[in-house]
Amino acid sequence: MISVTVEKQNQRYASAVNWSRRAKVKLFMALQFKSELIVFAFVTLGWTSPCLAQTPQQTPVPSPERRGIASAGEQLPGQKLPGSISGTIVDQSGALVVGARVRLTGEDQSLNQEVLSGNDGQFSFANIAPGPFQLTITSEGFETQISSGILRPGEIYIVPWMPLAVATEKTEVQVGLSQTEVAEEQIKVEEKQRVLGVVPNFYAIYIPGAVPLTPKQKFKLAGKTAVDPFTFVFAGAFAGIEQAQNRFSGYGQGAQGYAKRFGARYADTVTGTFIGGAILPSLLKQDPRYFYKGSGSKRSRILYAIANSVICKGDNGHWQPSYSGIIGSLAAGGISNLYYPARNRNGAGLTLENALIGTGISAATKICQEFFFRKLTRKVPNNAPAKP
């Protein structure tokens, strides 16, 4: 009995010990899991908290209305956008007027600006407050012109072409120069005009609003042309061509034949210049010069140049048939019958031939004047129209 009891007690003790061990293992495992959970939580918080701290916060941007600033293309209440005013100034013939003084004024006395028209005859005023305005255009040799209008907010106002009228003699006297004195100054400028610095270009007028010449001045310009060195060179070159072609064979060949051809060609030039450029223009009160156009389409300028071989400006400023040029060509052709060889004199035929040749050369020269000579001419006045 005793042994049985002792054995049972031993079994109970062994089971108790085993339970105690299992309990300790479970407790240890529980503690270990808990500690690992704490470490995991600590590590997780330790890594994520800096990221959360560094996350930028977006600050809401106030709208343009809250800032009180208009965005692009918007206009705040009560605001009036400024505009601009521009235009082109020409004379009555359509030529551009360079260096004209344009004054802009408005109801508000603070609006008072001035500009000069550029090489293209244009002027421009920018950032002008909207409202009524007035333009006052003045230029030497022209009458003052006034134009007005109303500029709306943000408008690009283009003023129509404003042809300036030539000033009257009374106005010019007030400036301090008579019409004759103004013309004399113009001749001084024209006498310096040379294509490529060599070929005389005395009969081209680039000055807007040029005044007419007196008879004395017309003869002076013709004489200047007749004795210019290039006139002799031109006659000599033309005589050489005629001799090479054996034209007017009655003159013969050699030095004697060349001298006769040279004399005839120079005589043609001088008689044509004086009759068509001085004598008849003085009697008929016409201007023998070419008034450069320089604006418009190519077609209009070509037609203008060709027309100027048969029309011209009168001393009164109006366009009229060029009786001086036409009759001058016929007269020069008729006079040439006096010194051309007898076998080459065919009366009216030679006269008409020379007149037609002269008219054709005049038309071709004026086309060159309109498109080429202006670009190649030195000593052109500063207030001349711009080069096309």
Written in H, E and C, the secondary structure of the chain is: CHHHHHHHHHHHHHHHHHHHHHHHHHHHHHHHHHHHHHHHHHHHHHHHHHHHHHCCCCCCCCCHHHHCCCCCCCCCCCCCCCEEEEEEEEECCCCECCCCEEEEEECCCCCEEEEECCCCCEEEEEEECCEEEEEEEECCCECCEEEEEEECCCCEEEEEEEEECECCHHHHHHHCCCHHHHHHHHHHHHCCCEECCCEECCCEECCCCCCCCCHHHHHHHHHHHHCCHHHHHHHHHHHHHHHHCCCCHHHCCHHHHHHHHHHHHHHHHHHHHHHHHHHHHHHHCEECCEECCCCCCHHHHHHHHHHCCCEEEECCCCEEECHHHHHHHHHHHHHHCCCCCHHHCCCHHHHHHHHHHHHHHHHHHHHHHHHHHHHHEECCCCCCCCCC
Least confident of 63-77, 301-315, 333-347: 63-77
CB 263 within 8 A of CB 236: no
Work out the pLDDT band at 64, boundaries 50, 70, 90: very low
pLDDT of residue 120: 76
**What is d(CA 153, CA 156) in angstroms, rounded to the nearest whole number?**
9
What radius of gyration, in Å, describes the C-alpha atoms of the chain? Answer: 49
**What is d(CA 366, CA 303) in angstroms, rounded to the nearest whole number?**
10
Look at residue 116 and tell me whether its pLDDT is greater than 70. Answer: yes
Domains of the chain: 83-169 (2.60.40.1120), 177-378 (no CATH)
As a whole number, the mean pLDDT across the chain is 76
Does residue 66 or residue 256 have the better pLDDT? 256
207-221 pLDDT tens trace: 766 788 999 999 999
Does residue 265 or residue 379 have the better pLDDT? 265
Phi, psi (degrees; rounded to nearest 5) at 227: -100, 5
Look at residue 100 and tell me whether its pLDDT is greater than 80. Answer: yes
Of 102, 74, 99, nearest to 87 by C-alpha is: 102
Look at residue 234 and tell me whether its pLDDT is greater than 70. Answer: yes
Q: Which residue has the tokens 């140049």?
A: 305
Phi, psi (degrees; rounded to nearest 5) at 289: -85, 160
Query: Rounded to two decimals, what is the model's pTM?
Result: 0.54
**What is d(CA 180, CA 169) in angstroms, rounded to the nearest whole number?**
10
